[in-house]
């Protein structure tokens, strides 16, 4: 079994200059946990929902909101993304993907083609979902 057999396709990506309000909206509306960041259709980074929780002030849209809270929304994807994420190819065996998850503190792996364009994404949830239907 390979990455292409369990990866999520039709991945939504954002440009590296996209602002956090738009990124937050995409993640919330789609129930995503990870959003690949691209430049000229090539993967350059990834943003997780945890990144947003850590960066965006919890006081936004609250009575105690301050101007400095709103400043967090002015950041662009390239300012907050994890750069040079670990990637796999469509032909990567599932055993190698599991090894990456165990070896490195990550929870998703973008799947890229030979031109570094995102063709899919695999999360630990995808692995669990696959394992559930295999047993």
Assign 3-class secondary structure to the chain. CEHHHHCECCCCCEECCCEHHHHHHHHHHHCCCEEEEEECCEEEEEEEHHHHHHHCCCCCCCCCCCHHHHHHHHCEHHHHCEECCCCECCCCEHHHHHHHHHHCCCCEEEEECCCCCEEEEEEHHHHHHHHHHHC
pLDDT digits (tens, 9 = 90+) for 13-72: 999 999 999 999 999 999 999 999 999 999 999 999 998 888 776 677 777 767 777 777
pLDDT digits (tens, 9 = 90+) for 95-128: 999 999 999 888 899 999 999 999 999 998 888 8
CATH fold group of domain 3-134: CBS-domain (3.10.580)
pLDDT digits (tens, 9 = 90+) for 59-93: 777 777 677 777 777 889 999 999 999 999 999 99
2 band by pLDDT with thresholds 50, 70 and 90: very high
Confidence (pTM):
0.86
């Amino acid at each position: 079994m390979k990455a292409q057999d369990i990866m999520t396709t039709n991945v939504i990506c954002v440009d590296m200059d996209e602002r956090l309000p738009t990124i937050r909206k995409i993640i919330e509306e789609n129930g995503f946990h990870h959003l690949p960041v691209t430049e000229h259709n090539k993967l350059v980074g990834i943003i997780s929902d945890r990144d947003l929780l850590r960066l965006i002030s919890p006081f936004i849209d609250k009575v105690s909101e301050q101007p400095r809270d709103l400043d967090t929304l002015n950041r662009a994807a390239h300012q907050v993304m994890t750069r040079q994420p670990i990637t796999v190819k469509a032909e990567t065996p599932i055993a190698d993907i599991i090894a990456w998850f165990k070896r490195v503190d990550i929870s998703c792996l973008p799947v890229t083609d030979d031109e570094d364009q995102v063709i899919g994404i695999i999360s630990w949830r995808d692995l669990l979902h696959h394992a559930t239907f295999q047993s």
